Amino acid sequence: MKIEDTSKVQFLTISDDRINQRLDNLLIGLIKGLPKTRIYRLLRKGEIRINKKRVKPDYKIQPGDILRLPPIRLDERQPQSVNTDQQSIRLLKRCIIKEKKNWLVLNKPTGFAVHGGSGLNYGIVEALRALFPEWPFLELVHRLDRETSGVLLLAKRRSCLRFMHQQLRERKMHKKYLCVVHGKWPEKLSEIDAALEKVEGRGGERIMQVSETGKPSLTRFRVLARSQNSTLLEVEPVTGRTHQIRIHCASAGFPILGDSKYLMDKNLITKDSKYGVNRLMLHAKSLSFSVDEESPQIQVNAPIDNSFAQVLQQLEFPQTIIERCEQR
């Protein structure tokens, strides 16, 4: 489905691979260069219609739907091109752990945003689209914080994306993380069940906090090792709230090393500096998922990078533990 001429009214038959996609998400991808605010305004005014009827942004595409688009004036400014220098190409290609016809998995480096926005011209997904133009479709299945490293799953077909999103909704996709927290995490603290909600933090930024009025949030923990009054944990988020692992650790009194959002104790910040912590010590270790109804689950593992391993060494964690974390 392609827009031929934005200067006049168009009627487009939506292809079957878009079935069950939200209308607003379809429009954002279809009308490049049109701000989201204008898309929602056109929907509110009824200038964008489905089957000649007004619809809401969350309308789910159905078989045979016909999309009506009004004349649209796009921003004539050319979008900034994605920097695809050879160094970036080599880095991104090295990050690919596994690639199949319909999906691929990256070991995302810390400090890389998965999407452009918030002052960034592009993220990993935009860079990959620019590097591999032969892929007609590429979307994130899930997200990782910019500061978090590790397993990141992307779909190369819309049907695959829909199936994987269904797994996420039904909690059939299983993620495990590694993190290093300040303090001696109690063996008995194997689970934190604390609702979370978004609030406005310092400088107007949005952060999470534990709240009885928040969304149910459950995280499971297992102690792997302790050293220098720090603990290495294996973590399994049962729900998938924003910053869930980070705020659950901090609210229990064991903030993650290098967490600039939720680490408030000046003494612990000084300790981070002492041990050369220059990143968030949170790594998405593994992801288990299915690619269709009939296939068994696949588990993909991402080894920790040098920056994570160096902090473990500085904190004098056993070498056997570090080597285990570095295994794929």
Q: What positions carry a catalytic annotation?
A: 145
Q: Using an 8 Å Cβ cutoff, are 279 and 193 in contact?
A: no
- Dihedral pair phi/psi, residue 175, rounded to 5°: -115, 145
CA distance 61 to 14: 8
Instruction: Give the three-state DSSP class for 127.
Output: helix
CA distance 208 to 247: 7
Q: Using an 8 Å Cβ cutoff, are 181 and 256 in contact?
A: yes
Sign of CA dihedral 256, 179, 271, 108: negative
Query: Cβ–Cβ contacts within 10 Å for residue 53, how many?
Result: 9
Contacts of 231 (CB under 8 A, 6+ apart): 180, 181, 183, 184, 185, 223, 225, 254
Instruction: Give the three-state DSSP class for 97.
Output: strand
Q: DSSP assignment, residue 52?
A: T
CA distance 194 to 213: 10
CA distance 111 to 185: 27
